[in-house]
């Protein structure tokens, strides 16, 4: 009901048909042409969008290696998920990394080729439209949606000048036709609007995807992202390629692109709603890091990284990603300190933090699987009762000791994981803060508890361009949905006997006719004011602007055929009635109106 | 029983309904305000609050649009029905008021969430009109088919069908539902016969929709979304209870809508309303998703990471983009487009529930 008709195009000039060549080259060329035409179809584009949707559903259901590598590893090993065989199939089709898979890239490429194939003819047509189109001059106003007329003492020339002024002020494209009716086209002002903006908006909307794609692709090359955990009061880290725990630079991001500042975490603030009866009990209320930044050649300064306020250092963004408790664990064997650092365990399901101590200096290797319960107060029997509460009022460190081969460097393991394949369990222990314990000849102490924060450092030069693309997308969308195409004519007829001018205004709405009615009335009112006119006396029944139109006639009109708003006032017609053979007294028939196609189904 | 009595009773019913609807909206607004004051923040922090506001936005925008732009007050009931259903769904996820996670405590949240919630509410209104369009269209098609069958191909019958499916019947129907139009002269000798014909036509329209098919279809269609409750509730019984509550409520709503089918305006009108509302909600959804990406860049250090919620927003966007493209292309109109609109709403609700209940992602905190 409200779609735009495709922009009118002239029929292409007839070309002499060429004799089609034969042979393998022609066969390939024909195949390419066929493929291009297939891609240019809207239906194909919709299928490709559907394929994209299906792929992203797959990526939601199947764990993705770039996001959760440990889960994917567990699926592959058959420890969780549907089993080894299914995982092998998933691996073969690239389902563990959908957004990096060949299928995804192929669909995306096809979608962009399809978009291009769709857009090239549309852009051509639009440029032709903008360069050539003019508001059409009518011979008679027999078939327009809106029509009204009035009488004025101004001369026809004055009326047309006023109409041009009023319409141009309202941003209509205006074309003035000062004829005497001899060419069967009465003197008039023809105006049009929305023709460029609607299709143009749609084109901008679609072209913005190229901006987004370019920004994403080039951004992938220029971007850099690294993660690093920092313990409170620790020396921190320097912004160099080697100091990040995980480091993913774009192809064009070199080591020299790092700024080289040093960052220390002075304090991490975190708190919760501790009252179990208060609303939102257990919810955190603050996550904030007080940090100190030391530029390469400058004085250190204090800064804050908050949940929604990342720290911005010359385009490099520092964000808090994660945090946890950092227990200091000291391991001694025969008075020799084998391990004395802060662990950075991560929160696991169940409200405890899990980490690992790895001491390859021991003989054989020593490993501790560490569980930290931040709030495990002593129960009535004097034994600690672990709770899920996150505040560290009664921290309890539980560990299992392993001896054997840590297989460091032999297998992939994170700093918080032990590879227990070549390790043997060698006792358990539980420690309060400040305590130490001896397990199988190894002294383990827990002297200090701090917190650590996982920071993400990222540099994304593409973000402004992504914003530009998004802005174009929204602008184009607004244009393509809310620019309505309208045409308007102001026809002036001189009445020599009465020395006055009869003005007929007619309009046509290609979209949203019900919204046009008000606009049309406003326009006519303004035009009448500009020409100090009175409503036409010859036309009492016609919806003159001053006569209130009842809601029934104007608002219910799209129910069926309009009530026959019958005749054009005869006075509007040129004196020589032959000029308009049908006298303009036709019922509204709109052969090319797209609104009509659905109305009567 | 005189005709005047009927009209008086109709006026009274309308007045009572208006008062009730206004009271309902006022109560809902008061609830949002009180909840906001109690929490000291905008009530957009968890699924209950978001869904509740989605219902309010859908109802207010829907009614405003119907009254002031479209002048179709007779469709109010369906918007209110849809609002009541969405609100009922919100009650299934009720959460006590409470403070906000620090990461949500920023002006980005009202910006991003309110855009998307408004979009959802208006998508819901669009879904209602798509569904009503399909109901009415099915009824009309069925009536036309049965008439052409009984007419046996005679030209007289054909002309009659043309009348019915075209303007004449539409005008009669409009007169029946337009209070203003009923104020005309009453001493029409054909009045009695006209009304009998009209009643027969109404019955035929209703009969055109098989209640069994409608109920089963609605049950199955709702199941595409409501299975989430079946799988995620604590016990199977509780899950089954919720699943059946949602499905049977939707079936009841569909059967109620079937009864109202004769009083619906023309299919073209509902098709147009569905398209306009979808287009508006699509703009809101687009801007809201972009705002979400901008917030993610600030808060999580990346603008897009295929988090379940992000994937859901993307899928919904694609589905409604498909609807708008289908509408813009000449081949698919009317029923085809309406079905795509219904499917898009299933995608919207499905991704909304799945991303919140089934898959764990970055958006999972605070039940949002």
DSSP secondary structure, A21-87, as one string: P-SHHHHHHHHHHHHHHHHTSHHHHHHHHHHHHHHHHHHHHSPPTTT-HHHHHHHHHTSSTT-HHHH
Token pair of A355, please? 């980490």
Give the residue from B276, B295, B303, B347 with the most A CB atoms within 10 Å of its CB, the best one to mutate: B303
Would the CA dihedral through A166, A168, A171, A174 be positive or negative?
positive
Q: What is the mean pLDDT of residues A479-494?
A: 89
Within 8 A by CB and 6+ apart from A324, the residues are A344, A345, A346, A347, A353, A451, A452, A454
Interface contact B178-A552, CB threshold 8 A? yes
Token pair of B197, please? 């014909």
Contact criterion met (CB below 8 Å) for A456 and A468: no
Interface contact A551-B180, CB threshold 8 A? yes
Give the residue from B266, B271, B301 with the most A CB atoms within 10 Å of its CB, the best one to mutate: B301
Task: For residue A511, give the chain B residue with the closest CA.
Answer: B272
Number of Cβ within a 10 Å radius of residue A89: 12
Interface contact A286-B102, CB threshold 8 A? yes
**How far apart are the C-alpha atoms of A75 and B295, rounded to whole Å?**
32
pLDDT in tens, A270-306: 888 888 777 667 778 888 999 999 998 889 999 999 8
Contact criterion met (CB below 8 Å) for A569 and A538: yes
- With CA atoms as reference, report the closest residue to B49 among B63, B64, B28: B28
Token pair of A366, please? 């020593």
pLDDT in tens, A509-568: 888 877 788 889 999 999 999 888 776 554 434 433 443 333 333 333 333 333 333 333
How much is the pLDDT for A407?
84
DSSP A96: G
Interface contact A558-B266, CB threshold 8 A? yes
How much is the pLDDT for A409?
78
DSSP A304: E
Interface contact A287-B103, CB threshold 8 A? yes
Within 8 A by CB and 6+ apart from A115, the residues are A45, A206, A209
Residues 156-175 of B with CB under 8 A from A: 165-168, 170-171, 174
- With CA atoms as reference, report the closest residue to A226 among A454, A66, A69, A457: A457
Edge to edge, what strands does the sheet with A346-347 contain?
A: A346-347, A353-359, A365-373, A396-404, A423-432
Q: Label residue A40 by pLDDT band (50, 70, 90).
A: confident
Task: For residue A68, give the chain B residue with the closest CA.
Answer: B361
Interface predicted TM-score of the whole assembly (ipTM), two decimals: 0.78
Nearest to B267 among A99, A273, A601 (CB): A601
Residues in chain B: 368
Better-scored residue on pLDDT, A91 or A551? A91
- With CA atoms as reference, report the closest residue to A350 among A323, A318, A317, A375: A375
Contact criterion met (CB below 8 Å) for A204 and A475: yes
Number of Cβ within a 10 Å radius of residue A251: 9
In angstroms, the separation between the Cα of residue A442 and the nearest Cα of chain B is 40
pLDDT in tens, A22-35: 788 888 988 898 88
**How far apart are the C-alpha atoms of A596 and B238, rounded to whole Å?**
51
- With CA atoms as reference, report the closest residue to A209 among B306, B286, B277: B286
Q: Which chain B residues contact residue A598 at CB under 8 A? A: 268, 271, 333-334
DSSP A375: B
| Global model pTM greater than 0.90 | no
Helices A69-77 and A84-92: crossing angle in degrees, nearest 10, is 120
In angstroms, the separation between the Cα of residue B308 and the nearest Cα of chain A is 6
For residues A486-503, b (16+ Cβ closer than 10 Å) or e, as one string? Answer: bbbbbbbbbeeeeebbbb
Contact criterion met (CB below 8 Å) for B21 and B75: no
How much is the pLDDT for A478?
94
- A-B Cβ pairs (cutoff 8 Å, strict): 170
Percent of chain A with pLDDT over 90: 26
**How far apart are the C-alpha atoms of A397 and A415, rounded to whole Å?**
17
User: What number of H helices and E strands is found in chain A?
Assistant: 11, 22
Contact criterion met (CB below 8 Å) for B128 and B85: no
H/E stretch holding A475 reads helix A463-482
Q: Is the preceding omega at residue A364 within 30 degrees of 0, hence cis?
A: yes
Nearest to B268 among A515, A561, A599 (CB): A599
Q: How far is CA B182 from the centre of its chain?
A: 29
Q: Facing residues of A347 across strands?
A: A353
Interface contact A287-B102, CB threshold 8 A? yes
Contact criterion met (CB below 8 Å) for B358 and B231: yes
How much is the pLDDT for B3?
59
- What does the longest C-alpha to C-alpha distance in chain A come to? 125
Q: Please list the alpha-helical segments (H only) found in B178-331.
A: 191-207, 211-232, 236-260, 267-299, 308-328
**How far apart are the C-alpha atoms of B330 and A206, rounded to whole Å?**
19
**How far apart are the C-alpha atoms of A141 and A147, rounded to whole Å?**
8
Mean pLDDT, 10 residues at a time, chain B of 368 residues: 69 89 93 86 79 88 85 81 83 74 72 85 91 93 84 44 39 41 48 84 90 94 89 83 90 92 87 90 95 88 84 92 82 81 93 78 52
Return the top range by mean pLDDT from A238-247, A325-334, B96-105, B180-189.
A325-334
Given a cut of 80, whether residue A462 has pLDDT beyond it is yes
Interface contact B106-A308, CB threshold 8 A? yes
How much is the pLDDT for A136?
86
- With CA atoms as reference, report the closest residue to A540 among A567, A521, A513: A567
Contact criterion met (CB below 8 Å) for B320 and B278: yes
pLDDT in tens, A556-566: 333 333 333 33
Token pair of A285, please? 């209320």
Given a cut of 60, whether residue A173 has pLDDT beyond it is yes
Contact criterion met (CB below 8 Å) for A268 and B102: no
Q: What is the mean pLDDT of residues A565-576?
A: 37
Q: Could you tell me what percentage of chain B is helix, strand and coil, using 3-state DSSP and rounding each to the nearest 5? A: 80, 0, 20
Residues in chain A: 601
**How far apart are the C-alpha atoms of A108 and A114, rounded to whole Å?**
10
Residues 84-113 of B with CB under 8 A from A: 96-103, 105-106, 108
How much is the pLDDT for A447?
92
Q: Facing residues of A57 across strands?
A: none
B365 in A contact zone (CB under 8 Å): no
How much is the pLDDT for A342?
92
DSSP secondary structure, A376-425, as one string: --B-TTSSB---S--S-SB-EEEEEEEEE---BTTB---TT---GGGEEE
Interface contact A598-B334, CB threshold 8 A? yes
């Amino acid at each position: 009901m409200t779609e735009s008709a495709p922009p009118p195009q002239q029929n292409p000039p007839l070309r002499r048909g060429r004799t089609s060549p034969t042979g393998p080259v022609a066969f390939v060329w024909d195949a390419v042409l066929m493929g291009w035409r297939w891609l240019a179809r809207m239906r194909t584009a919709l299928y490709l969008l559907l394929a994209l949707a299906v792929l992203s559903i797959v990526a939601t259901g199947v764990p993705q290696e770039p996001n959760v590598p440990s889960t994917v590893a567990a699926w592959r090993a058959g420890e969780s998920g549907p089993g080894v065989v299914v995982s092998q199939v998933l691996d073969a089709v690239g389902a563990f990394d959908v957004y990096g898979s060949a299928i995804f890239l192929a669909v995306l490429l096809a979608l962009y080729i399809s978009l291009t194939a769709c857009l090239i003819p549309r852009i051509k047509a639009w440029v032709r439209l903008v360069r050539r189109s003019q508001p059409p001059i009518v011979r008679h106003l027999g078939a327009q949606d809106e029509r009204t007329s009035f009488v004025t003492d101004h001369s026809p020339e004055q009326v047309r000048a006023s109409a041009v002024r009023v319409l141009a002020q309202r941003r209509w494209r205006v074309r003035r036709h000062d004829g005497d009716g001899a060419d069967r086209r009465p003197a008039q002002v023809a105006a049009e609007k929305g023709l460029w903006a609607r299709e143009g908006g749609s084109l901008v909307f679609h072209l913005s995807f190229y901006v987004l794609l370019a920004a994403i692709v080039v951004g992938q090359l220029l971007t850099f992202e690294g993660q690093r955990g920092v313990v409170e009061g620790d020396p921190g880290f320097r912004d160099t390629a080697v100091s990040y725990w995980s480091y993913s630079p774009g192809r064009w991001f070199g080591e020299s692109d790092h700024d080289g500042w040093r960052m220390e975490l002075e304090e991490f603030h975190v708190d919760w709603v501790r009252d179990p009866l208060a609303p939102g009990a257990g919810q955190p209320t603050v996550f904030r890091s007080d940090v100190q930044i030391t530029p390469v050649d400058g004085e250190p300064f204090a800064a804050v990284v908050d949940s929604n306020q990342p720290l911005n250092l010359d385009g490099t963004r520092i964000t808090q990603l994660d945090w946890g408790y950092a227990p200091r664990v000291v391991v001694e064997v025969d008075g020799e300190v084998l391990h004395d650092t802060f662990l950075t365990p991560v929160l696991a399901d169940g409200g405890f933090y899990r980490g690992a101590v790895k001491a390859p200096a021991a003989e054989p290797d020593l490993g501790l699987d560490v569980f930290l319960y931040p709030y495990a107060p002593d129960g009535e029997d004097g034994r600690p009762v672990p709770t899920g509460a996150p505040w560290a009022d009664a921290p309890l460190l539980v560990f299992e000791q392993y001896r054997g081969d840590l297989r460091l460097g032999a297998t992939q393991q994170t700093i918080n994981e032990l590879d227990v394949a070549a390790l043997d369990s060698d006792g358990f222990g539980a420690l309060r803060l400040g305590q130490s314990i001896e397990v199988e000849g190894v002294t383990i102490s827990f002297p200090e508890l701090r917190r650590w924060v996982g920071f993400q450092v990222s540099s994304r030069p593409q973000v402004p361009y992504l914003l530009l693309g998004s802005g174009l997308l929204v602008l184009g969308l607004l244009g393509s949905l809310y620019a309505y195409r309208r045409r308007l004519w102001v026809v002036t007829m001189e009445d020599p006997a009465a020395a006055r001018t009869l003005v007929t205004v007619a309009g046509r709405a290609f979209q949203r006719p019900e919204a046009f009615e008000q606009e049309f009335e406003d326009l006519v009112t303004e035009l009448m004011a500009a020409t100090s006119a009175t409503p036409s006396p010859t036309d009492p029944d016609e919806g003159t602007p001053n006569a209130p139109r009842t809601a029934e006639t104007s608002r219910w009109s799209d129910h069926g055929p309009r009530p026959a708003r019958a005749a054009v006032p005869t006075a509007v017609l040129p004196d020589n009635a032959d000029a308009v053979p049908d006298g303009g007294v036709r019922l509204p028939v709109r052969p090319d109106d797209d609104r009509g196609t659905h109305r009567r189904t | 029983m005189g005709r005047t009595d009927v009209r008086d009773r109709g006026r009274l019913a309308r007045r009572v309904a208006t008062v009730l609807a206004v009271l309902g909206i006022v109560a809902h607004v008061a609830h949002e305000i009180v909840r906001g004051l109690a929490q000291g923040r905008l009530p957009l922090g968890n699924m209950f609050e978001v869904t509740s506001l989605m219902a309010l936005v859908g109802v207010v925008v829907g009614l405003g649009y119907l009254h002031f732009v479209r002048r179709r007050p007779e469709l109010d009931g369906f918007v209110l029905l849809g609002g009541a259903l969405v609100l009922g769904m919100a009650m299934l996820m009720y959460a006590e008021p409470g403070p906000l996670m620090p990461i949500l405590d920023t002006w980005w949240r009202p910006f991003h969430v309110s855009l998307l919630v408004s979009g959802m509410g208006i998508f819901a209104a669009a879904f209602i009109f798509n569904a009503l369009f399909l109901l009415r269209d099915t009824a009309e098609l069925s009536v036309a088919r049965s008439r052409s069958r009984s007419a046996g191909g005679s030209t007289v019958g054909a002309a009659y069908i043309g009348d019915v499916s075209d303007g004449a019947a539409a005008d009669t129907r409009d007169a029946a539902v337009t209070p203003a139009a009923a104020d005309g002269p009453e001493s029409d000798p054909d009045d009695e016969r006209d009304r009998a014909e009209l009643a027969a036509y109404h019955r035929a329209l209703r009969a055109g929709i098989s209640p069994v098919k409608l109920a089963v279809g609605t049950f199955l269609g709702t199941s595409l979304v409501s299975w989430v409750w079946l799988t995620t509730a604590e016990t199977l019984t509780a899950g089954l209870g919720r699943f059946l509550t949602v499905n049977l409520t939707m079936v009841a709503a569909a059967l109620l809508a079937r009864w109202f089918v004769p009083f619906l305006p023309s299919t073209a009108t509902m098709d147009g309303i569905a398209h306009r509302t979808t287009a508006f909600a699509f703009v809101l959804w687009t801007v809201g998703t972009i705002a979400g990406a901008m917030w993610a860049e600030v808060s999580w250090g990346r603008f897009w990471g295929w988090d379940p919620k992000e994937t859901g927003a993307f899928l919904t966007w694609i589905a409604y983009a498909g609807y708008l493209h289908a509408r813009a292309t000449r081949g698919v109109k009317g029923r085809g487009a309406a079905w795509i609109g219904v499917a898009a709403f299933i995608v919207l609700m499905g991704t909304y529930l799945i991303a919140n209940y089934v898959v764990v992602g970055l958006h999972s905190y605070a039940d949002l």
